[in-house]
Structure 1
Amino acid sequence: MDVSLFIARRIRFKGRLATVSTAVSFLVMIIAVSVSSGFRHEIRDGISALAGDVQIVSVDMNWLGESSPVPRTPSYLGMLSSIAGVESIEPVVYRAGIIRSSGNIHGVMFKGTARDTLLAGLGISVPASLAASLGLSAGDDLTAYFVGDRVKARKFHVVSLYDSVLDADENLVIYASLEDMQRLNGWDSGSVSALEINLDHSHRSVGAIESAASQAGSIALLNAADDEPAVLASSSVSRYPQLFDWLNLIDFNVLFILVLMTVVAGFNMVSALLIILFEDIPMIGTLKSLGMKDWPIARIFLSAASSVVLKGMAAGNIIALALCWIQDMTHVLRLDPQNYFVSFVPVHVDLPLILAADVISYLVIMCLLTIPSMFISGIDPAKTVRAD
């Protein structure tokens, strides 16, 4: 039997302050990691739904007019599908317009998609925030005007309202059917404004999105047929740099919180360990007089401290995961979407990331605890045994 572990099991830290402070530190760390991950998922999902992760458009794209379509099924479509992480390639038609309802006028972007068959026949889906500002509800009619070579008017029927994730941007986007927008532009079924490439969650990092855009652009450039128009491939990172910069800022803040909480927990444990060492000086002297070396004695106290850290870690993780589950189910904590882009505090439990944070924090704390354990080497067994 390992003597150090045997003795460590019989050492108890007096008071629960060390365990509680460690639990609080891990609680804050896990919540910070989950909220940061939640923001990344919500905002990147919102961007992907809004305009795709990679967008392929004509080099002469005109959002206001009816010119410059791209083929719905270009000759290189199969090659685009082979890019790592591609989940879907969606043909869409964009057209800027002006809507009017109950005397209110608003400039918007119509987006024709094939994903919702309920929108066929001049049906539209309007952001709830935009509907509120225009006094619209499901079932109402809405007149839109489109400026091109001549002004066109269309009367749409509001089929549904949707909650926008990226409220500041999406409140200008109204979804319509792909066929309605193609007819509005005078295009056949094989012409669209853009092809939007959506990536799966594991490929929505900045590097993966930029890489997919670069590959898509190269494929289109090198493999387009002679009669196909020149196109550009742009990433959501380049189209929404302010959102990705904001996510980077959140990640930096979370990193700061992780470091701070790890240091706080570490120094709380250092204080607790020093108290135990001072209280057990006679025992340390006795063990030294019996021939035990400094490191096995230090292992006694480090093992006891490790037990406290692990208990605090477990308690902090359990409470944090429970709070994250409650927030995910209820969205009880709300946010101003004008400032935070989402209307609630998003959480996403990324178990590998949480496990990595736990392991790294535990190792850092244990490294800090080796500092007070050096105190053992300065204890003179002759003096401590006589004092005892």
Structure 2
Amino acid sequence: MNYEFFIAKRIIGSKAYKSSVSAPIIKIGIAAIAIGIIVMLVAIATGLGLQKKVREKVVAFNGHISINSFDTNQSNESIVPISTKQDFYPKFNSVDGIKHIQGVATKFGVIRTETDFEGIVLKGVGSDYDWSYIEDFLIEGSLPSYEGKLSNEVVISSYLANRLAFQLGDTFQTVFKKRSIEEIPFQRTFKIVGIFNSGFQEIDKTFMIGDLSHIQRMNKWNKTQVGNFEVYLDDFTQLAEKENQIRGKTPSFLDTQNIEEKFSTTFEWIKIFDNNTYGIITIMIIVAGINMITALLVLILERTQMIGILKALGSSNWSIRKVFLYNATYLIGLGLFWGNLIGLALLFFQKYSGVLEFPNAKDYYMSVIPVYIGLDYILLLNIGTFVACFLMLLIPSIIITKISPVKAIRFE
């Protein structure tokens, strides 16, 4: 054990230290670090949680990457069919990191009741559709299975169900236009077997999910034709990289579009939370550092005589500075401990209880404030805060080099 650490340990453990003039200021410094950690943990956990939930909702209904035909159609309706007889389907083995690929198609229609009507987009899915992404948003009923014969079972949103006074098990008629306006439109009768709520009004008020065979028949496509392919990835952070790889492995007559491009406004909005989080972290670290600087200066002034004696006995300036830096390190560690304990307790409570909700759920696409707890950002936050506070304490510790041994021993 080096003697600097030994002296710092004795100072921390002494009764005089705990009842000294600097004790309240030191406690304030510890509290500042603890509060700062709590605020930063909450800001990061809720910011990442919101981003993750919004991302999951958008991806669940659209996939990470869409493979489409090259055309000028900008609507929600599939016009040009794509054959499923592709090298990348049903398994995209030529690119790593692809979880699933499925063929879908969309067609615009109008739900008609005795008293009302509503425009919708029927999203046709087949036996290859992965329902696990939608399952989390299902609030009533069950998910259909489209294998074998033509099915009239559909899943609609709670938004549409409320607007049209539909309930589980109800049947309704939907009208779909043909290619020519003069022709009599298609009419299909559907039965509601499930109701979902994504929280995304853009999705909820637009889409209902049904059997792909309906769209294939209305568009006079064969069973091997779809409107587009939806690709799901293992890792969202590799979105741009995987899109480039997928584009290189698909025929030249097919185009790709990732989810960030398709919903650019939404993703730009959630990226704003990163700037807010960075701002909060910077402010909290500065506040905590200033409080620790004040505590260290008071501690140095209180131990002026001790500094003079150590200098008189031959201790170097750096050696004495290490004594106080050891002391400050202990105080920072104490603040980090209590901050993490309280902060993580609050986050786990919110994660499993969901007691805190957004005042306006429509603005955030969800009602409960989401929380994401990850070991990676917790460790980085603690290490970053510790290093930043420690570096800030190196400057005020320079005052020790200005203290004269003779004057310090006489100091009262």
Is 1:214–2:247 an aligned residue pair? no
Q: Which residue of 2 aligns with 1:357?
A: 381
Superposed displacement of residue 182, structure 1:
3.0
Output the CA distance in 2 between the equivalents of 1:66 and 1:363. Answer: 55
Output the CA distance in 2 between the equivalents of 1:135 and 1:352. Answer: 47
Moved more, 174-183 or 240-249: 174-183
Given candidates 370, 382, 398, the residue that maps to 1:346 is 370
> Residue 19 and residue 192 in structure 1: after superposition, are their counterparts in 2 closer, same or farther (change >3 A)?
same
Q: Is 1:168–1:338's contact at 8 Å kept on the other side of the alignment?
A: no
Output the CA distance in 2 between the equivalents of 1:181 and 1:337. Answer: 34
Q: Which residue of 1 aligns with 2:196?
A: 162
Q: Is 2:154–2:210's contact at 8 Å kept on the other side of the alignment?
A: yes
Q: Which residue of 1 aligns with 2:100?
A: 88
Q: Is 1:66–1:148's contact at 8 Å kept on the other side of the alignment?
A: no
Q: Which residue of 1 aligns with 2:86?
A: 74
**Deviating runs (4+, > 4 A) in structure 1?**
61-66
**Correspondence list, 1:121-160, <5 A:** 121-149=151-179, 150=183, 151-160=185-194
Deviations 1:262-301 (A, max 9, x none): 1111111111111111111111111111111111111111
Is 1:118–2:144 an aligned residue pair? yes
**Correspondence list, 1:298-317, <5 A:** 298-317=321-340
Q: Which residue of 2 aligns with 1:225?
A: none
Is 1:26–2:37 an aligned residue pair? yes
Is 1:14–2:23 an aligned residue pair? yes
Q: Which residue of 1 aligns with 2:15?
A: none
Q: Secondary structure at the match of 1:254?
A: helix
TM-score by length of 1: 0.91
Q: Which residue of 2 aligns with 1:273?
A: 296
**Percent of paired sites with the same residue:** 27
One-letter identity of the residue aligned with 2:123: K
Deviations 1:50-99 (A, max 9, x none): 21110011113755766411122413437844323211111112112212
Q: Is 1:124–1:175's contact at 8 Å kept on the other side of the alignment?
A: yes
Q: Which residue of 2 aligns with 1:264?
A: 287
Superposed displacement of residue 370, structure 1:
0.9
Output the CA distance in 1 between the equivalents of 2:172 and 2:356. Answer: 34
Output the CA distance in 2 between the equivalents of 1:81 and 1:41. Answer: 27
Deviations 1:198-230 (A, max 9, x none): 112xx313xx212222222222135xxxxxxx2
Given candidates 46, 58, 65, the residue that maps to 1:35 is 46
One-letter identity of the residue aligned with 1:115: D
Q: Is 1:168–1:341's contact at 8 Å kept on the other side of the alignment?
A: no
Q: Is 1:126–1:174's contact at 8 Å kept on the other side of the alignment?
A: yes
Superposed displacement of residue 169, structure 1:
3.2
Moved more, 64-73 or 347-356: 64-73
One-letter identity of the residue aligned with 1:166: F
Output the CA distance in 1 between the equivalents of 2:283 and 2:196. Answer: 40
Is 1:48–2:72 an aligned residue pair? no
Output the CA distance in 1 between the equivalents of 2:325 and 2:3. Answer: 13
Given candidates 313, 316, 319, the residue that maps to 1:290 is 313
Computed over aligned residues only, the root mean square deviation of the Cα atoms, in angstroms, reads 2.1
Superposed displacement of residue 331, structure 1:
2.2
Deviations 1:169-192 (A, max 9, x none): 343111123334433433332111
Q: Which residue of 2 aligns with 1:227?
A: none
Deviations 1:335-368 (A, max 9, x none): 2343122222111112112211211121011101
> Residue 101 and residue 266 in structure 1: after superposition, are their counterparts in 2 closer, same or farther (change >3 A)?
farther
Q: Which residue of 2 aligns with 1:97?
A: 109
Superposed displacement of residue 249, structure 1:
0.7
Output the CA distance in 2 between the equivalents of 1:330 and 1:148. Answer: 50
Superposed displacement of residue 119, structure 1:
4.9
Q: Which residue of 1 aligns with 2:257?
A: 234
Q: Which residue of 1 aligns with 2:211?
A: 177
Output the CA distance in 2 between the equivalents of 1:67 and 1:256. Answer: 47
Output the CA distance in 1 between the equivalents of 2:90 and 2:187. Answer: 37
Output the CA distance in 2 between the equivalents of 1:66 and 1:261. Answer: 51
Q: Secondary structure at the match of 1:174?
A: strand
Output the CA distance in 2 between the equivalents of 1:115 and 1:76. Answer: 17
Q: Which residue of 2 aligns with 1:5?
A: 5
TM-score by length of 2: 0.86
Q: Is 2:91–2:100's contact at 8 Å kept on the other side of the alignment?
A: no
Q: Secondary structure at the match of 1:348?
A: coil
* Gaps in structure 1 of 5+ consecutive residues: 223-229
Is 1:186–2:220 an aligned residue pair? yes
Superposed displacement of residue 328, structure 1:
1.7
* Gaps in structure 2 of 5+ consecutive residues: 13-21, 132-142
Give the aligned length: 377
One-letter identity of the residue aligned with 1:197: V
One-letter identity of the residue aligned with 2:373: V
One-letter identity of the residue aligned with 1:22: I
> Residue 185 and residue 325 in structure 1: after superposition, are their counterparts in 2 closer, same or farther (change >3 A)?
farther
